[in-house]
Every structure is written in C-alpha cells, then in structure tokens.
Structure 1
Amino acid sequence: MSEITYEMTQKDNVWLPAAFPAQGRLPTQRYLVRQNCLRQVSDEKAYHQELCLAANRRVELPCCKTLHVSLFFDGTGNNLYNDLYQAVPNHPTNIVRLFQATIGAGYAGGASGKPLLDDVESTGGKYFKYYIPGVGTPFPEINDLDYSTSGLAFANRGEDRINWALLRLIDVLKRVLVNDKIDDEACRKSLEAMSTTWHTLDLGGRHNRYGEFYKQFARLKRELKIARSQPGRSKSKLLGMKLYVYGFSRGAAEARTFVNWLTELLPSPTGDNQKPSQCLQAKNETDPDCNLPISVEFLGLFDTVASVGISHVVPVVEGHMGWADGTQELPSEATYGGLVKRCVHLVSTHEQRLSFPMDSIRRSDGTYPTGSTEVIYPGVHSDLGGGYPPGEQGKSIGKTDGLLLSQIALHEMYAAAFQAGAPLKVPPSVLPNDLQYQLWRAMPADVQKEFEAALELINRFNAWRQVTLGLAMPQQPLSDEEAACFEPVRASVALEQAMENQMNWLTAWRINRYANGMLLGMPFFHEAPNRDAKKA
C-alpha cells in the first residue's frame, strides 16, 4: 500500500470532482464558445479601452493582437508518433488528445509532417501549439533518438525538453516577426548552450539558460520594437503572449519546472517588496517597446510525478534531483503574483506510489496557490493522463475509447481550460454564426471521437462519488451550462486523508475479491490477454 505520512502543519483541504454529465463536458451552447473567444481577446479589448480613455471619446478598434502559445509535455514512455500512428490499437494520452483539440500552428516533436497543425495565416498568426514527447521516448529534434532506460527510470533528457519548450517562445516570435523559425540544427546548438554544466552547477544552469535565451531574443529586437510600437499599415500591434501549459506524469513535473524557469527570464525586482515586470526583457534593457508582456493563463496537470534521478524508494532520496530540484512549487505570489492565472491538478487516488510518489501543488506551508485547484479521481496513474488502449488488462472492453476511465479526466481538463480561455476547438455545431467561416475552430470528427465517454462509464464514476465520497447522485441530464462547467467540490479533509480513505476502499475491495473467489468470475479476469498472465 502507498505510504502516507502526516505532519503537524495545518493543510488546506483538497477538492472532490463534481457530478459528471451524461452528455460530457464539451460545450453545446454557442454563447459558451463566444465567452471563450472573448477571454482570448481580453488584452485587445483593454487596449481599445485605454485608447478611448486617452482620446476622451470612442475610437475605432485598433489593429492589434496577442499571441497564444500552448505547450504539451507528455508522460514517461508516452510518444505521440508511436501512440497515435504506429501502435495497434492506437492509445494516445490525454496530452495528445488535448494537443489535437487545440487551435494553432507550430510543431509536434517526433511527428513532423503529420496533419496535426493549423495554418498560420488562416488563424491570423496568433495561435501556436507545441508537443513535447515523454522522457524515455524518441525526440529526434533534441537528438534523443530512441527509447531509453535512463529516460524511463531516471527522467534523463528532461532538461533538454524543458529548454526546447522555452525556445518555442523564440520560435513563435520568429514566425510572427520575421516569417522564419528555429531550425533543428540551430535548436540543438542552443540546447547545448543552455544545458547545466559542471562549472555552472551551483547556478543550476540558470546562467546558461538566461544567456542563450536572450542571445536569441536580442536578434529580434528591431522587429519586436516595431511590432510593439508602430507596426505600420496592415500590421498588428503586438500586445503580449499568453501561455497554456499542460503536462502528465513527469511531463507535469516538466511543466512546473518550465513555469519556474520562465520566472528566471523575467526582469529582477527593482527593490525590496517590488514585483518584477511580467515580461520578456533583456537585462539592462530600458526601452519599453523592446519587451513582451507574458502570462501563464492556464496550467493543467495530470498526476504529477517527478522521480528525477534516484527515486524515493532509496532512503533519504526524494526523486527531486537535476531539473526537478526546487522547481515543483509554483512561483511565489509575493514576487510573481498573477503570472499563473489558473492551475488545475487532477490526482489519482489508487496508484501504488512507493517508487513514484505524486507531487501535490500545495505549498510547503500547507496552503494552495491562488487560483489553483487539486482534485482527486478514481483509478491509477494512466487512468488520469491516459495511454491505456481499450482491453488493457481485460478492462474497458469495447470498439471505442468510451469506457476508458481516463475519458473522465480528459473532459474535466478540457472544461477547466476552456473556462480559462484556452484556444480549444469545439464541435462545429456550436460555432457562432459569425465564426462559421473560421473552420480551424471546429473540432474534426476523428478528434471528437477521441472524447467519447460511454454512459456506462459515467454512471459508474458518479456511483463512485456517491459510495466513497458521500456525494449525491446527479439528476441526469445536467443542464448544458452545468455540463460545460468545471466546478469541483471542496472536501472536508486534506489530500493525505482523502487518499488514505480511497486506499481503504481499494484494500477492502481487494480482500473481498480474493477471499471468496470473486476474482475468478470477474469479466476482466477472463478478458485479460495472455501477455498479462503470470505463471503460478
């Protein structure tokens, strides 16, 4: 059983999932789509209001835009190219499914040339997305060419993946400002320059990252200044960059490190109790038109596991070596308040965690960061982040993915991100009339199929809530507004107690399953493929 320990520090209570709707959580109302789109142009509206106030009258809408960049860090051993295109049956994780459901041009690591991206011009040059393969899997763009034991066991090459993601911010600027991009060879050279070396170990690679990032940033200074000030006719004024970051397993740990390393690129505070400007700006740069405001609008995490270097199975060691050392707590509100607008962490309650303990987003003082929510769900690690094919271990038997428990977490994360304004595709039927021509906003039929959730699964999930959490069964169907809304319920206990309660239920079920021979009659026992069988 998982080891659960308690400390004397008072801890905030965790959250419980809301009732899951029979129709799923994809939006079914056009006004919900419009609300999502309005959140994406909040900076444009604020800039327009600023111009109106300055002129003391209503002025025409200015030509301006904000860049929206979505980053997807996949889990250990998970790889889009293999899981979506080579494996039979295919079994993409929820990170891959959300990547497919996101608007944007960009790049999918290890899957170059596949039809996964939108056209830059058709989307107004505003939306970009990037996929980062899981540690232990091929990522040729960073010269990680094959599956590796060191990646699977120790999260080796995680640092390069995070630095590759940081360089995507430069890639977006190159695409927008000079109609170019970072090629793989140049990227590999930058990654080498950014990596932690023995003589900079005391700085944790921070010096190297900062130096190389701003070396690349400086090459765009002239074009950035023009775009931020007076771009000229038919050119949009650049207002800033909004990030949407997702991660599963060690990919979630990478996502958290990414956010912390992003803060290292921000200007230093100007004095005591002063917050740094939340923008990309080179040291000693004083021209306000040579910086770029930046924010993390949404940070979506599936069951964070770091276990970098030697895992927690060894006494004293906690699995937070290398790039995970001191990088898993979200940036301090005292210094970086408002940088991360919303964080959602979906946690597995039935995983056996001796070697791979979960990292809560709760701070060391027992409190949750502002704007964050941590919610418990049934199942093991990949029942949250996805990756199991139908029929794995004799379970979720069917011709579609509708019975996979991970479909619940997929819908939950989609709804949470959608509420936060993430640029997600929607079913074509709910596109407002004036957006019908923007076909890139429509979710393709094959991606909609990946969001299928069977009513049998939904009923069992809601029964789990009722029996083990004491929450009422919903009156189905829920309203369309309720269905599309991510609103978990605050528990009366902290995370540790909630997980212990779930382990008690699981242990009782296991004892009952074996004690009276019930196991031999379970459908999954008979459906499990022979490769899962063990000799007596």
Structure 2
Amino acid sequence: MKIVEEKHNWLIDQQIDELEVLPPHTTTAHLPLEIRTQLKPHASDWIVLQQRHNWRHVKRDEFTRVFIKTKKGLQSVKSGSVADSREQLIIVKRKSYFKAKNRNNAFASNGGVDPNQPIGGYQSDQLTSFDQVLASINVDKSPEVAEKRILVSLEGELAVSFVIQGADTPTLSRASEGATQTPLVFGKLSEDGSYSLKAKILGVPEQVLFNNVPYADLLDIEKVKALKIGAEGGVQLIKHNVSGEGNVHLYFISEPPSIGIFFDGTGNNKYNDILDPFDDKEPTNIAKLHELYDTGKKFVFSEYIEGVGTAAGKKDSIIDLAVAYSFDERLLKALASIFEFIDTNELILVSTVLLDCFGFSRGAAAARAFVNLINEMREAQDIRLVGKEVVFRFVGIFDTVASIGGDGDNDHGELYARDELEEAARLDLNQASAGAVYHLTAWDERRDKFPLSSLKNKGGSLFANHKEDYLPGVHSDIGGGYAPISIDIEYPLKRIRGIPGNPEHEAKVQQEKLAIEHKYQWPGINVDMAYRFKRLRYGASRSGRDKDFYTTYRPVWRRKIDNTLAHFGLHHMYNEAVQHGVPLKEMARLQSIYPYELSNEVATLVPKALKAGPTSQAWQKLYEHYIHISSRFTGTTDKLAHGEETKAKYVTENGQREMFYNNGLKLPKVDIWTSFRVGGKVVWRKG
C-alpha cells in the first residue's frame, strides 16, 4: 500500500526480512461477494487493514485495493482521501506484500526509509496506540489459516443451544437467547474432518440438523440443501455462505416460516365492504383475522381469498352467489400463493413450512377442501412443493356450509364448480389433516340451504385434535359480516276485508298482527301492518260499502339489532389459534383498522347463555338485542335461498338444522405433527 506518510512506511519496513508478518486486520469474509471476487487469485490471499485516525490519502497498486463506502455499496477507486470519517475508506492489502522483498521493493519506490529506526513490540511504551495496533504478527500463527470454523447465526424468538461434535475435536456448545447479534463461532475444525450439528430448545426433543457430514460437503450449497435440514420441523436453514478463508456460515431461524390462508364467506369481500359505506355488510371475522396475522415478522406471509360471488371493486355475481361456480378458482388461487411463497429465494434452503388456514361459510368449506388438496400433494410428493414439508398447523373455521350448486346437499361434485380440479372437493378431515382443527357453529341457524358440515363423526365423536363448539346466533352472527343497521323483517302479504279507519276492519288488522307475532315468535317482535293498497273485491257492486273492499298490508318488523355478537366468536377463534402457535398480533391492534368492540354485556351474556341453555333469560336477551333472523318469509327467490329447513336426514342437536357428518377415512396418508409448549410459544414437530 502506497501510503503518503513516511512514518507508516517506516513502521512496516522495519520488520525482520526473514519473517512473513501481518499487521492487525480483519479478514475479507465480511466484504460483499462482488468485492471478494475481484481479489485475485483468491479472497483469502488478502486482508482488510485496520486504519489510523490521521491517514489522509492512499493509492491503489499491485498489493493494494481501495474502496469507498457509498449509498450503493462499496466502490473501487484508484485512490482515496479520508475526510471526517475513516470508516468511509476500506483498504485491502495482499498478504504477500508483507514478505520482506515485496515490502522493500515497494518502499524503495517511495524513496526509502531509515532502516535503523528502533521499533517496539505490542506493549512497548515507545509506540502510540496506533503503532501498537499496526505491529505485525506471523502469518503462520494467524488463526485464519490454522483452523476452519463454522459460524452460526440465528433469527427468531426462541432460545436455541447449538452443539457441534466431530471425531477430531471436542464437543463444542454455544447458546443463544434468541436472535444473535454476532455469530456463534465453532473453531478449531479441520477441513478433512466430519461433523454433526444439533439444536436444542428447552422442553423440545433435540434436533439433529446434520449428522457426520464431511466439512468439505458443507462448502457446497447443493450438498447442504440435500441434507434437508429441518424436515421434521424446528430450526430451519435460511442462508448458507462460505468465506474467502473457507469458513462456513450457517444462518438459521428458530422455527419454520408461517403462511396464513384466509377464505372469506359467500358474498363477503373485505375490499368492497370497506369501499361501500352504504351496503349492508362489514368485514367478517376472516377479514379481521387476516389483518391480525403478523406479517410484520420475518418469514410470515398471508393470502386473503375473496368470498364466492365477489371480486374486489366489482359488483357481486348473483349466479356465483347462488351456485358457487368459482369454488375451484378460490382453491387454485390459494394454491398459487403457496407455490409463490415456497419457491422464493429466501426459502430455498427451508425444509418445512407451516400453514394456518381459516374460513367462513363456503370459505370454511374451501379451507377444508384446501387442506385435503395440499395433503394429497404431500402424499404424492408433488414436485410443485419443491421437496418441502408443507404442514397445516391450525385450521380455524366458522360454520361450514358447502351448498355447492346451491342445492344444500352433501354432494360437492358439480362439474362447473370443480372443472379446474381433478376431482370433487372433499371436506372431511382426520387427525393427520392438521395439527389442530377448531370449528365454531351457529346454534340458531335453520335455513334449508345452509346445512352444517360438522367435524363430528357418526355417533357424535371427534378426533382427538378436533374441537367443535356452538355459539348463540345465526350463520353471520358467528362468522361476522352484518353491518350495524336496522333490518326490515318482512312477512307474507295479508288481505283483510274492509278499509282502513273502519273499527271492524281495524280490529281484524290487530288480530292478524298478533297472529303473525305468535307464528313467528321472537323476543321483542313488534310487527307493523304497512298499508299497500285497497281493491274492490271480485263481483262486488260499486256501491262503495266497506265490506266490498279488501285492503292489502305488508307485515314488517323494523328491527334495530346490534351487530357485535360476532366479535365473541372472533375472540374464541383468536384464543384457540394463539394457543396453537398461530402468529397473531394483539387483538387491540384491530381497533385501528375496523370498527370493533366486544362489549361487557356480550362478553357476560354469551357464557351465561351457554351454561343455562336456549330457554334461559340470558339467551332470550341475546335473541332480543343481538341475534339476527337469517330466514326469509317472502318472495319466491328469497324463500328458495333462505327458507327454513323442513326435511333432513340428520339434524343438529336442537333439531332445526340439517347436518352432514365428517368421515375421516380414506384421506391422504400424511404424518401427524405434535406440539410442545415452550414458555409462551408453541413448537411443532413431526411425530
């Protein structure tokens, strides 16, 4: 290095000519790859000099490379000046420079130095602190050539201990309390040796990351990839690097990446519901859980799938709302998002990916079908999964309704709804389908076209890792989506003889009102007999007598109802998900995104109602103020789509809703995964 300061030249030149010496330095391993490749014949032949505060100018020559730090990275220059910050100048020196003949030749070209000037050692009082730093060390004793190293860096929230074992080295252990600020270093390794690396998380079985692997194989990224580190869960490899000195740097995360897939319900679309303040919907619990999925954490991704019958920024499709012909398209969109995530360069070395899947209504049916679709690919070792274990950690579903084809049966094979799939969607799940499955169902739903696809097997049993609870309310009181608006409940038209104002006629109107309220009884019901028109009865004379007229009324209950009951179901699902390790933000974060409240009254009433039953005062109060009426009683189309159940083979516990049982037989054969609780975290492992 041609430093324009004679004292610097003098310090270097005074070393004994027979020795190969290096000044204090760092290796080139921390330099960017594009810089290391410029250092010939190999980056390990060069060092990065530690600098003196008062250096002012340095030039490039055959032994020296000069780089300046810029916003775009390191830039090679012919010469450099240090202004206010010496860290802006990077000086790289070739080791062979420090051989005596090379030093002498270089210094001679600078005009020579005084060979008799005295020099001190590392602790000499004759030298300044800078001079002591620059004092040389023997190349043969430099640790970088005397040993090989494996460096381990960790990201994530879990404390992990790493242990390296080899025949030629004692067992070495290093511990991390979470993400490492500096790498854990395992030194004194031999390039000819073979080594095993293990990871240990307290309370979880020890994980063998690799076993008896030659050090030379660890230098080859393809051979490292073939080790499938983390194929049984746990610590995952995310990056591999080899320094110019041949040291291996392994970058891990303490648990697998997470992907959340969120299938919204029929007619529900969080984008449209936010854009139109005048519609009768608000974002569902699926939309809210999607917002809470913590993609702010590294290696956490999510995908929101709009409900059947909707598209962002467009009007709803009446046909799709009715028959769900886009059901298969929703599954394929979710599948494409998985491929996109796992095929990124960031995850190329990762062996396991954890999926969390949520759905409501037909979206719950889609979630269950999606689980089977992925598990079939796992069983077949589909190449699109690029050799990764794609495992469902948690499946959270609200009131599963399939009704593909709009017929409300348990046949989901309609061709138009599966023409992009190889076979009909299957909603059945078993113990191996996912780590945990939680299903919230609507006790008060009774519509014919909204049969419940239960998790219960015939006989009422559940798989050990399945859980199904019912809550007070109808379909969207559980999954969400009702807006905070008044609702008109309309009943069939009534033709009453006479005309308004006639006492006899008014008495008949009052009788009809009471009869309707009795027939459609509901706490707080108050029907208004809305006048429509009057007509002369057929065959009557035009004398104008009251009894010759019929007056038509539309009975309607203008009902003001609170829409926050669904937030109880949201809390229930949130708590279950967090208990199984789903990465969700604090619930309080939701208030800054959506109108949201779980009142003390709802939080108190629902548990009381569940304990005391549907005839209790608590449940009756929920009927009066919080539970919607989902059935429709007028209009051919409305009655067809939302009419009440009249005939069913199997029904729910209350006898008012058709139910289809779960059949967990003949499903894809995949491994069962087990959870371990580590403090406030949950870790999943195969087996």
TM bucket, shorter chain? 0.5 to 0.7
Looking at structure 1, the residues matched to 614 and 271 of structure 2 have their Cα atoms a distance apart, in angstroms, of 38
Amino acid at match of 1:177: N
- Structure-2 residue corresponding to 1:309: 405
Aligned to 1:95: 286
Structure 2 residue identity aligned to 1:412: H
Asked if residue 83 in structure 1 is aligned to residue 184 in structure 2, the reply is: no
Which of 437, 443, 454 in structure 2 is aligned with 1:349? Answer: 443
Structure with more relative contact order (C-alpha pairs < 8 Å, separation 6 or more): 1
Question: 1:460, CA displacement in angstroms?
Answer: 2.6
The answer as to whether partners of 1:411 and 1:451 remain within 8 angstroms in 2 is: no
If each structure's helix is expressed as a fraction of its own residues, which one has the higher value? Answer: 1
- How far residue 312 of structure 1 moved from its aligned partner, in angstroms, is 3.1
* 1:127-166 correspondence to structure 2 within 5 Å: 127-138=300-311, 146-166=315-335
Show the 5 A alignment for 1:415-454: 415-426=575-586, 443=589, 445-447=591-593, 450-454=595-599
Conserved? CA contact 2:396–2:577, under 8 Å? yes
Q: Which structure shows the higher strand fraction?
A: 2
- Cα shift readout 1:394-446 (whole Å, capped 9, x = no counterpart): 66657xxxx52111101101111111111111167xxxxxxxxxxxxxx2641
* 1:258 aligned partner: 370
Shift of 1:369: 2.5
State the shift of 1:467 in Å.
Answer: 2.9
- When normalised by structure 1's length, the TM-score is 0.53
Cross-structure match for 1:244: 356
Q: Deviations over 1:2-56 (max 9, x none)?
A: xxxxxxxxxxxxxxxxxxxxxxxxxxxxxxxxxxxxxx969x77xx568568885
Pairs aligned (count) = 318
SS in 1 for 2:402: coil
Check 1:343–1:329 CA distance in 2 against 1; reply closer, same or farther (3 A cut). same
Amino acid in structure 2 at the alignment position of 1:355: K
Query: Is structure 2 residue 387 aligned with structure 1 residue 291?
Result: yes
* Distance in structure 1 (CA, Å) of the matches to 2:398 and 2:275: 23
- Match of 1:407, as an amino acid? H
Show the counterpart of 2:152.
Answer: none
Report the equivalent of 2:600.
Answer: 455
TM-superposed deviation, 1:459 = 3.0
The alignment's TM-score, normalised by the length of structure 2, stands at 0.42
Post-superposition shift, 1:295? Answer: 1.1
CA distance in 2, matches of 1:102, 1:128: 8
2:306, 2:587 → 1: CA distance?
27
- Give the partner amino acid of 1:376: Y
Distance 1:81 1:305, change over 3 A: same
Which of 417, 424, 428 matches 1:329? Answer: 428
Indicate how the Cα distance of structure 1 residues 310 and 456 shifts in structure 2: closer, same or farther if over 3 A, else same: closer
Is the partner of 2:447 in helix, strand or coil? coil
Deviations 1:261-292 (A, max 9, x none): 00121144xxxxxxxxxxx6529x9xxxx621
Q: Is the 8 A contact 1:312 1:319 kept in 2?
A: no
The superposition leaves residues 96-138 of structure 1 with CA deviations (integer Å, 9 ceiling, x where unpaired) of 111111112xxxxxxxxxxxxx5xxxx32x0111110100111
Equivalent residues of 1:102, 1:423 under 8 A apart = yes
Q: What are the within-5 Å matches in structure 2 for residues 36-55 of structure 1?
A: 51=163
Moved over 6 A (4+): 469-473
2:345 to 165, 177, 185: 177
Q: For residues 443-464 of structure 1, what are the alpha-carbon distances to aligned partners after superposition, in whole Å with 9 as ceiling and x for unaligned?
A: 26414x6441112222332332
What amino acid does structure 2 have at the position aligned with 1:418?
A: V
Cα deviations by residue, 1:136-169 (Å, 9 ceiling, x for unpaired)? 11158xxxx6421221111111101101101111
Identical pairs, percent: 28
Radius of gyration: which is bigger? 2
Distance 1:67 1:416 in 2: 20
For residues 243 and 396 of structure 1, the distance between their equivalents in structure 2, rounded to whole angstroms, comes to: 40
List alignment gaps of at least 5 residues for structure 2.
1-154, 177-249, 488-557, 619-649, 659-687
Decide whether aligned partners of structure 1 residues 302 and 137 sit closer, same or farther in structure 2, where only a CA change above 3 A counts: same
> What is the CA–CA distance in structure 2 between the aligned matches of 1:52 and 1:348, rounded to whole Å?
54
Partner of 2:569: 409
Shift of 1:300: 0.4
User: What amino acid is aligned across from residue 329 of structure 1 in structure 2?
Assistant: D
Find the aligned partners of 1:457 and 1:365 in 2 and give their Cα distance. Answer: 33
SS of the residue corresponding to residue 168 of structure 1 reads: helix
Q: What's the CA shift for 1:368? A: 1.7
Q: 1:457-536 alignment to 2 at 5 Å? A: 457-468=602-613, 496=651, 498-500=653-655
Q: What's the counterpart of residue 383 of structure 2?
A: 282
1:167 paired with 2:365, answer: no
Task: Tell me if the contact between 1:74 and 1:132 (Cα under 8 Å) persists in the aligned partners.
Answer: yes
